[in-house]
Every structure is written in C-alpha cells, then in structure tokens.
Amino acid sequence: MKQYIAHITLLVNDYDDAIQFYTEKLAFDLIEDTPLSETKRWVLVAPKGSKECCLLLAKADGEEQKKHVGNQTGGRVSLFLYTDDFWRDHANMLAKNIKFVREPKAEPYGTVAVFADLYGNLWDLIQANA
C-alpha cells in the first residue's frame, strides 16, 4: 500500500497575486490553473523538482474564510520548504524582497530561517544536515 499527501490548501485573497508571488518570488512551477466556475479555479503550484505534494491555492470565499487568509495555523510556521542550498535560496529570496521574520540559525537538524509569504503565512526555509 502506498499513500501520500497530494495537495495542501492555502487560502489566498486573489489567484493571480498568489500565482505571481509563488512563481516569481519563490520560483515555484505553476502546475495547473483550471477554471471551475466564474469565480473558482483549481490552481496548483509546487517547488521546482517537487514530485508529489503541491499547494492548492484556494481563493477565500466569504468572511469566515477571508479572516483566516495569512493565519491558517494561528501564527505558527505552517509550511516547510527544504532546499539543497540554503544560502543560495536565502540570498535569492532577500533579493526578491521576501520578508524574513527569523534570521538564519544553525539547529541540530540543519540551517533554518523563517519567512512570510505575501499574506503573512510563516514558512521555514531549511537545509537539512547531510
């Protein structure tokens, strides 16, 4: 038996703004952008080289969902972006004005820094120790 997580939903205010952020600032691939209705789209983005798990960018619908955009996990880091070259990616992200809320730090498991996406969701950028 094989199981895996295919998609993780991330609430956004606007599809196009979110696509632009993830593809231009984080250099993710746009995997799919399919209209489902006049107001709803199926939008998947993923880091380059990612094979199984994508972010499903879901436009918040209604006031209840809108109040959770940018804070889906109550202010905790919710997403973890692993890299093979922390300092390369950190420098690229700084050059693209990505806001880091915690500076790089050596931890027992690797090098990590926390950044915020365009809505304020917190991410770890991590390079694991070999």
How many CB atoms are located within 10 Å of the residue 35 CB? 11
Using one digit for the tens of pLDDT, what is the confidence trace for 6-17? 999 999 999 999
24 and 11, same domain (yes or no) = yes
91 and 127, same domain (yes or no) = yes
Question: Which residue among 22, 49, 69 closes a domain?
Answer: 69
pTM above 0.75, yes or no: yes
**Residue carrying structure tokens 């939903």:** 9
84 and 125, same domain (yes or no) = yes
| Residues 2, 44, 42, 40, CA torsion sign | positive
7 and 53, same domain (yes or no) = yes
6 and 62, same domain (yes or no) = yes
39 and 62, same domain (yes or no) = yes
From the number of C-beta atoms within 10 Å of its C-beta (0-12, 13-18, 19+), residue 125 rates as buried
Q: Which CATH number characterizes residue 59's domain?
A: 3.10.180.10
Using one digit for the tens of pLDDT, what is the confidence trace for 3-50? 889 999 999 999 999 999 999 999 999 999 999 999 999 999 999 988
Range of the domain at 111: 70-130
Q: Which of 103, 101, 105, 96 is nearest to 116 (CA)?
A: 101
Using one digit for the tens of pLDDT, what is the confidence trace for 67-100? 999 999 999 999 999 999 999 999 999 999 999 9
Percent of the chain with pLDDT over 70: 100
